[in-house]
Amino acid sequence: MERVAPTRGARDHRSHAEMSETASPPQPPLRLAVIIGSTRRGRFGPTIADWFTAVARTRDDLETEVIDLADVQPPEAPGTASSAADAAPAAAASGVPSAAEAIQAFAAASEALERADAFVIVTPEYNHSFPGGLKDFIDAHLRQWQAKPVAFVSYGGMSGGLRAVEHLRQVFAELHATTVRNVVSVHNPWTTFDAECPDARAAAHRMLDQLGWWGSALRDARAVRPYEEV
C-alpha cells in the first residue's frame, strides 16, 4: 500500500481504551455493520474488508458484523422471487448464492441494518462513483439508515475511491444519516496492500473513534426521542 490517509490532517491516535480511562459510565458496545459494496467476480473488496473488520474487532467499544452484498439480492431484482427454483441449480454450479439464498440473505441483511447503531461502507470506485449494486441495496432501505452515522473505507486508483465516497455522502444525507469526516482511503492496493501497515491501522482507528462518537450520541438521542417523531 502506498498511501492510506484520512482526507486531511494527522494527529496522534489514542486508543478507545486510553480515552475511556477518563470517561464514565461505560456504555454498551455499539453495533457496527460493515457493508462490502463490490460484488464483481474476482473483486478485491474482501481483502480490504477483512483487514478492516479485523481492526474493528480489536476494539471493545464495537460489536462488528459484516454484510457482503455478493450474498444479497433485493427481492425485486430480476431472476429472484418466482424464478428462484429455476435459478438455483445454475447458481449452485457457479458458486454464486442461489436466488432463494440471496433473498434470505437480503432479509437477514435488512435485520442487521435495523439493529446496527453505525455503518462502515467498504467501497471501490467505478467510473468516478460507487457500485450500482450498492446503490440498489441502499435504496431498498430507509428507516434503517435514519439518525445513524456512516463511515467509509474506499479503494481505487490514484483517487483511492474518494470520488465514490463523495457521491455516497450525498445519498446518505437524503436518507437522514450523517457521514463521518475521516475516510480510510487506499489507492492502487492491488499488488501492494499491506495488512500490517501501522498507518492504515491508525487511520482506521481514528475514523472509528469519530464513528463511535456519533454512534453513541445518536443512539442516546434516538432513545430519548425516536427519529420518526421528528
| By CB under 6 A, residue 133 contacts ligand FMN | no
**In this structure, what C-alpha cell is assigned to residue 150?**
456512516
Which amino acid does the sequence have at 177? A
Nearer to ligand FMN, 68 or 209 (CB): 68
**34 near 66, Cβ under 8 Å?**
yes
Q: How far is the CB of 189 from ligand FMN (least distance, A)?
A: 8
Residues in contact with ligand FMN, shown as a per-residue x/- string from 77 to 116 under the rule CB under 6 A? ----------------------------------------
CA atoms within 13 A on the CB side of 202: 13
Amino acid found at 208: L
| Backbone phi, psi, residue 213, to 5° | -60, -50
Q: How far is the CB of 179 from ligand FMN (least distance, A)?
A: 20
Q: Is the distance from CB of 158 to CB of 121 less than 8 angstroms?
A: no
* 209 binding ligand FMN? (CB under 6 A): no
Mask of contacts with ligand FMN, 159-198, x by CB under 6 A? x---------------------------------------
Chain residues 26-45 in contact with ligand FMN, contact rule CB under 6 A: 38, 40, 43-45
Taking alpha carbons only, the member of 134, 126, 184 closest to residue 157 is: 126
- CB 71 to ligand FMN: min, Å: 15
CA distance 142 to 131: 19
Which position among 156, 165, 186, 208 is part of the footprint of ligand FMN (CB under 6 A)? Answer: 156
How many whole angstroms separate alpha carbon 102 and alpha carbon 108? 10
State the residues that interact with ligand FMN by CB under 6 A.
38, 40, 43-45, 124-128, 156-157, 159
